[in-house]
Chains A and B, each alone.
Chain A
């Protein structure tokens, strides 16, 4: 099944549930009307939260960066000794 169909089915299921809530009036209608807005708001909050948490915990690698520079310098020397001209930086 295509991904878009999966996502649409989830939305249709939620919509069907919402309409049935509206029709049966188990909870007061004025509350039910607000539910989609809450859903959109919570989706937005989820997105922002995920980006925020991800940003805070974005791993950085200063040590590896240094090691890589060292590797590059080593390889450069090694190749230079063997007559390979890898150019300057």
Chain B
């Protein structure tokens, strides 16, 4: 990232794992203009975390990520090559993939994906991938038209962006479970997902 001017914005909803202490130490090391801590008092959800973080972003492009930096250069390179407004990560193509998923998790993921592809024709292969680069004005525009919560929010963002006709490119990402913390995929998540699909069917 030597030739790239960047800042890292950490939005933390008072997580008990000491995130904020670590971030403060990183601020000492890298400077408070590079590492920005924008904490919120309690858990307020993914969508509002995006809005909150975006308010403090000063660059032309925003990369939204769950945890690690291992993909950053691919996203930036792809954007430079194609001039895309959004570069989104996909786990479903060659070069991408998952690690540490059992058969059930893969089956659910695939089933959900086939359902969404068949019903929504979203134009991207991975709707819930949580690693994306946005042109800042585009993120602002898309975020304003989204109302969902949780990870349906990820899906709504990319579907709305696609419907609005923004130039979207994909890059393969690898998703390593242990590092991201295991996200549970139980019955209630499946119901949420189906509700999200139905909502997007009638509103986009």
* Contact string against B for A residues 51-70, beta-carbon threshold 8 Å, 1 for contact and 0 otherwise: 10011001111101101110
Interface size in chain A (residues, C-beta < 8 A): 28
Chain B, 163-197, CB within 8 A of any chain A CB: 172, 174-176, 178-179
Say whether B98 contacts A61, CB under 8 Å.
Answer: yes
B111 interfacial by beta-carbon distance below 8 Å: yes
Stretch at the interface among B8-16, B37-45, B117-125, B133-141: B117-125
- Total CB contacts across the A-B interface at under 8 A: 99
Residues of B contacting A64 in the complex (Cβ-Cβ under 8 angstroms): 70, 97, 99, 174, 176
Residues of A contacting B200 in the complex (Cβ-Cβ under 8 angstroms): 3
CB distance from B16 to the nearest CB of A (A): 12
A28 interfacial by beta-carbon distance below 8 Å: no
Say whether A51 contacts B97, CB under 8 Å.
Answer: no
Measured CA separation A7–B200 after assembly (Å): 13
Residue among A3, A51, A69, A84 making CB contact with B121, cutoff 8 Å:
A3
Residue among B68, B114, B117, B121 making CB contact with A68, cutoff 8 Å:
B68
9 A-B pairs with CB atoms under 8 Å apart are A3-B202, A51-B111, A54-B113, A60-B97, A60-B101, A71-B70, A79-B26, A84-B22, A84-B29
Say whether A55 contacts B201, CB under 8 Å.
Answer: no
Q: Which B residues are within 8 Å of any A CB, using their own CB?
A: 18, 21-22, 25-26, 28-29, 68, 70, 91-101, 103, 106-107, 109-111, 113-115, 117-121, 172, 174-176, 178-179, 200-204
Say whether B106 contacts A55, CB under 8 Å.
Answer: yes
Tell me whether chain A's interface is mostly helix, strand or loop, or mixed.
helix
Tell me whether chain B's interface is mostly helix, strand or loop, or mixed.
helix
Say whether A59 contacts B93, CB under 8 Å.
Answer: yes
Residues of B contacting A60 in the complex (Cβ-Cβ under 8 angstroms): 97-99, 101
Residue among B68, B94, B118 making CB contact with A47, cutoff 8 Å:
B118
CB distance from B74 to the nearest CB of A (A): 12
Say whether B120 contacts A65, CB under 8 Å.
Answer: no
CB distance from A88 to the nearest CB of B (A): 11
Residue among A47, A58, A69 making CB contact with B106, cutoff 8 Å:
A58
Measured CA separation A75–B100 after assembly (Å): 22
CB distance from B139 to the nearest CB of A (A): 23
